[in-house]
Amino acid sequence: MDINLSAGNTNDSKIFFNQLDNFINISTIKKNNNNIFIGDAAYDSNNIRNKLKDFNLGNLVVPKNKRNIKDINVLDSHKLTIQNKKLLKNRYKIEFTNNRLKQYKRINIRYDKFGATQY
């Protein structure tokens, strides 16, 4: 597991782009194109796709193409397969579960008297 803390106003794609360097340095990750990175439309950028391709880390699966690509060949290469659509459905379940949990005030904002190091 890898954790990266950043400011709240930093875009997710910038964080992921920087975190890919950590993936590259980890020797336990199998570097092949069978790995799949699942994200929302914010992760869909040429920089991320090129970095994944250059270091043979895998493919990026995002739900929609929002980059206004007009080239038909490039659009065809970004179309989702049935398997990728199933993966995105599982991602949505996790997103909805997290959203549902955040609606409860005690889970969203912890009112603990002591920090986690004092237990």
Give, for 38, the enclosing helix (H) or strand (E): strand 36-38
Decide which of 5 and 95 is more confident: 95
In angstroms, rounded to a whole number, what is the distance separating the alpha carbons of residues 14 and 42?
10
CA distances from 48 to 19, 80, 105 (A): 11, 17, 35
Q: Read off the tokens for 75.
A: 């659009």
Residue 61 contacts residue 38 (beta carbons within 8 Å): yes
**What does the pLDDT look like over 19-42, one tens digit per residue?**
888 777 776 666 777 788 888 877
Decide which of 55 and 116 is more confident: 55
